[in-house]
Structure 1
């Protein structure tokens, strides 16, 4: 899988750290499979065992300047969007997509960025509105793409055979999600992200994700000692998380596990978490 082995060094975190349960997948002999929300029309239907394990989740803000997509696999940035209504698909696919393209280009030095999807999520109970149905937070820790599905989805987005052509010319393709609160501060169901350098390759469990017209593949995550977790407390609307999901370059972190969690002392009257994530492929010329 070329995921980096656990590292001996990492940014020194200070400040707030909490303990909260994350949803991990229990390894099994058969390949895990689940039916997506697009197939079920509601919550995903899973056919494997999930275990909720309390882990320490550190505040990433004190180390934000040291975070690196090629090491930790995620970064936290400040960005004010010009879009007032992130539920307006026309504004999202025009103005907001242009903003995301610029963010990703600057983040990795890309010459081209292709946006192929966006999803809104809410833990309101009914979920957030999307063209393919309402979506709640993804509570199981996962990575959106794998060594198999990454290049396949890349060719779907960039054009048939484009990933291989870019690599043949000495280039690189990186899959990056950009996650933003629609409203802030986030007080429920924040996003936990693993330091990708702390994730051993055998903790990544290839899992079939069944859609109405295709079967995709993602990584679920098995819990192991030594995994390091972070979150950004009370994220605001003018902040974004960049999350790497797949990379053609060897010797760097390729897969960043992430998932939503609830505080153990959660205030039930806090407003629901609403967020939008935009999925991109960035092309870096050789």
Structure 2
């Protein structure tokens, strides 16, 4: 039986900062329902911290260790998958190496995993919980600590058109192609001892729990989902991830045939997380994948 660790247990680390595997009980940040559509001004818009016009509320939930059953999770059933896939790129802080060899690695992996015909990488973000955030060409980023889905029923198709072009998108859909948005998340250094990712099993998320939220940028208004709490939701994480491991997270799928389409996720604080443990450093690559 998997051990459950709650907020009253002391989670100890060994000399490498590795916590024991096991389920945990920890708070996650859910949106508080409100009558009007929520929105927030992005960091790019404010030039500093984002500004929100809605409230969040913490609910303590069980977050299960996915490692004992890692092979059973899939993008189409739960909306995420766990893989061991070492990278040949030695320095994931090197912008040129990330834009070149690492992006090509990512494309090859997504072609292999999804049987993709084309892969369009359109965003790469590093994150760190060291207090100042990880460096990126467009600014510093910390972990995303509000449960969210990167795209919605409306913004998914809009973002595809922005990335691949309106005519190309219409051509793909007319030809019966399927387009999937996938986020490939990898630790830059490991094992991860702070701020891991919690992932919802998308099959346990009711559509009415997904709350469309405007995301205001300097040049456009995007839309993401936040999530309201529902006791039926099931949550998972991968303890002590290394840089040879990664998570595939589905953000949107053009098919509406019952498979997972939107996967809520968030960084979270481990119970009695050791503040002296190494900071979480990660890199995520967002891509649109075309499948015929």
Would you call these one fold, judging by a TM-score over 0.5? yes
Aligned mates of 1:44, 1:192 — CA distance in 2? 22
Alignment match of 1:244 (pick from 229, 250, 255): 250
Deviations 1:85-106 (A, max 9, x none): 1111110010000010011111
Q: Residue 124 in 1 paired to residue 130 in 2?
A: yes
Tell me the equivalent position of 2:173: 167
- Partner of 2:73 in structure 1? 67
Output the TM-score relative to the length of structure 2. Answer: 0.91
Whole-Å separation in 1 of the counterparts to 2:277 and 2:49: 23
TM-score normalised per structure 1? 0.93
Aligned-CA RMSD value: 1.3
Match of 1:5 in 2: none
8 A contact 1:181–1:275 mirrored in 2: yes
Cα distance in structure 2, aligned partners of 1:13 and 1:224: 23
Q: Please name the residue that 1:91 is paired with.
A: 97
Q: Which residue of 1 aligns with 2:267?
A: 260
- Pairwise CA distance, 1:162: 2.6
Residue of structure 2 aligned with 1:151, choices 141, 154, 157: 157
Does the CA-based 8 Å contact 2:24-2:271 persist in structure 1? no
Equivalenced residues, count:
274
Aligned counterpart for 1:278 among listed residues 272, 281, 285? 285
Give the alignment of 1:43-82 within 5 angstroms. 43-82=49-88
What is the deviation of 1:41? 2.8
- Mean alpha-carbon deviation: is it higher for 41-50 or for 53-62? 41-50
Show the counterpart of 2:27: 21
* Deviation at residue 176 of structure 1 after TM alignment: 0.2
**How many angstroms apart in 1 are the aligned matches of 2:2 and 2:273?**
23
In 2, Cα distance between the equivalents of 1:160 and 1:217?
19
Gaps of 5+ in 2: 4-20
CA distance in 2, matches of 1:68, 1:42: 37
Of 160-169 and 113-122, deviating more is 160-169
Out of 113, 123, 130, which is 2:119 matched to?
113
Q: Among 127, 134, 150, which residue is 2:140 paired with?
A: 134
Which ranges in structure 1 are unaligned for 5 or more consecutive residues? 1-11
Rounded Cα–Cα distance in structure 1 between residues aligned with 2:213 and 2:253: 19
Kindly provide the CA deviation profile for residues 151-181 of structure 1, in whole angstroms up to 9, marking residues without a partner as x: 0100111111333321211110000000000
Task: Describe the superposition over 1:175-218 as per-residue Cα deviations: whole angstroms up to 9, x where unpaired.
Answer: 00000000000000000000000000000000000111111000
